[in-house]
Each structure stands twice: as C-alpha cells, then as structure tokens.
Amino acid sequence: MRLIAGLGNPERDYRGTRHNMGFETLNKLAFDHDIKMKTSKFRAISGDGTIHGEKVMLFKPQTYMNLSGEAVRDAINFYKLTHDDLIVVYDDIDLELGDTRVRETGSAGSHNGMKSVIYQLGAQDFIRVRAGIGPKPNEWDLSAFVTSRFRPDDIDKMVEGVAKAAAAVETILKSGVKEAMNMFNRRAKNKIDRQQADGE
C-alpha cells in the first residue's frame, strides 16, 4: 500500500488557503478515483482505494500543519510501511503558482509541515510532490502569507497547480518516480528557461 499524505490545516477554517495545496490535491485524487474520505484513528481524514492498480490510502492529517508528522508516523507504524511507500504532497513558496516539482529526497526548507514529517520519521528519503504557491511578497510575514486565501485572479492557476500535482502522483503510481520527475521537473525548467530568454 502507498500512503499519500497531503499536508494542510483543518479545512473548516483553512479551505482555500495557500498552505492547503496538499489537501486540495488529495481532494482531487479522491474525486477522480471515487475514494471516500472519512475520519480515521490517526488524527487524519483518510480514504482507501486504488489508483492505476496500486492500493493507496489518501491521508490528510488534522493535527494542524506543524504536527503533521505525528499523524504520518502513526499510520506508517500501524501499517508497517517503509519510507518507499510514502508520497507527501505540500505547498512550496519557491515555485511559481501552478508549477509542480517531484523529488525523491531533500530537506524541508522553510516548510514546517515537512520539518515535522522528517523529524518524526527520522529520515528524508521519501517521495515528495511540491505544489507551487508563488513567492512571498516582501511586505508579508511568511505565516500570514501561507495561511491567506488565493486572490480571485489566482484561482485558475491554483486549479492548474492542483491538477498538475494530482497528475504527478498518478504518474508516480503508474510509471515510477523517475518518469514523474522527467515529466514535471522538465516542464518547470523549460518555463524558467523561456522566462529568462524573454528577459522576465
């Protein structure tokens, strides 16, 4: 079984915020693959299903972002999963809104949810799908920015980003992480190269 953990804050208060791109991606996967989500015993909302022939658990910790790793750890220990069975989807301020990157390992950067996951697992060698939310404006506090809601003129790019992140997860399950990295990381690099060529 693959545990696909989307990071975010409880949707009753934080739906539509930048920090909840992980949750939004899992919501799309659940809808597209008819997976029913319900509260689980791991302080999460989760649902079991199959995507491209792989048994999966979609998993949204309800611990608030900074303690996300506790719920992920509990589920991994209960089901006796390895780090290779884990995919974490989360927002990233270092990517433009609408962009997606796939990685097999790496640090948490400034992301407190990822810091919690890495700390609780004692490792960082697991697949992650990063959904861009755009850089923080200089005048904004980081916490205020990531918990703010998308502006109306950002919604289309947000929806595009969620679709890309969901497609990246599906590609990992269907064709492997290397194929997903080739597809989605190249797209982001090509976009940067075009912007630099245009002098943006």
List residues with catalytic annotation: 19
CA–CA–CA angle 156, 114, 23 (5° rounding) = 35
H helix and E strand count, the chain: 8, 7
Contact 73, 120 (CB under 8 A): yes
CA distance 116 to 6: 13
CA–CA separation, 2 and 160 (whole Å) = 24
Alpha carbon distance 39, 43 (integer Å): 7
CA end-to-end span of the chain = 44
CB 86 within 8 A of CB 6: no
